[in-house]
Amino acid sequence: MRIIPALLGEHAVIYSLLDMIERKRQEWSPEETRLAVVMLATALESHAVIEEELLFRELEPHLGLGHGPLGVMLADHEQIEAILARLALATPEELGPLVAQLTETTREHFDKEETVLFGLSEKFLAPELLRDLGARWAKRRNVDVRSLAEGS
C-alpha cells in the first residue's frame, strides 16, 4: 500500500484523541489531563518522526526546505514539540491554555498536510516509491499488509 493513505489513517486516529481531550478536559483533574497529554504526545511524536524520516526525506530534493511547504511542515513539527515540552513542565493553571494551543496547532498542521503536502507527494513521488515507503511504514508500525494486492 502507498504511504499517504497510511498517514491519513494516523491523522484520523489522532483527530479522535484531540476530540476526546477537548470534550473531556473541563471535567478532568490535572493528573488525568497530563496522562491524556502523554498519550497524545506518543502518537504525535512517532507520527512526525515517520513523516520526516520516510516522506519528507524523499520530498526534499523536489521541494527544498527554507520557507517552502516542507520547511513550513518541519517548523510546525518543531512548534508542536515545543508545546509538548512546555506541557511536561506546566503548572495545573498552565495546562488548559497549553492543551488548547496544542490541539489547535495540531489541527492546523494536519490541515496543511492534507490540503497541500500530501497532494504534492502524490504529484512528485513515483507510485513505486510511495508503495516502498508504505511498506517501510507498515514495518515500523508492525502492521501486516501481506494480504493486500501488490498494486494497492
Q: For the segment 29-68, give every residue that binds Fe ion (CB under 5 A).
A: 51
Q: Which stretch binds Fe ion (CB under 5 A): 28-36, 107-115, 122-130, 133-141?
A: 107-115
Locate all alpha helices (DSSP H) within the chain, ordered by sequence.
3-24, 30-50, 57-63, 69-88, 92-112, 118-124, 127-141
Q: Cα(141)–Cα(116) distance, rounded to whole angstroms?
A: 25
Contacts of 118 (CB under 8 A, 6+ apart): 4, 7, 8
CB of 102 to Fe ion, least distance (A): 14
CB of 23 to Fe ion, least distance (A): 22
Contacts of 77 (CB under 8 A, 6+ apart): 48, 51, 52, 109
Q: How many residues bind Fe ion (CB under 5 A)?
A: 2
Shorter beta-carbon distance to Fe ion: residue 51 or 58: 51
Cα-based distances in Å from 8 to 31, 119, 140? 30, 12, 16
CB of 109 to Fe ion, least distance (A): 6
Shorter beta-carbon distance to Fe ion: residue 58 or 113: 113
CA 99 from centroid of its chain's CA atoms: 16
Shorter beta-carbon distance to Fe ion: residue 49 or 100: 49
Shorter beta-carbon distance to Fe ion: residue 35 or 46: 46
Check residue 113 for interaction with Fe ion (CB under 5 A). yes
Query: Which chain residues interact with Fe ion by CB under 5 A?
Result: 51, 113
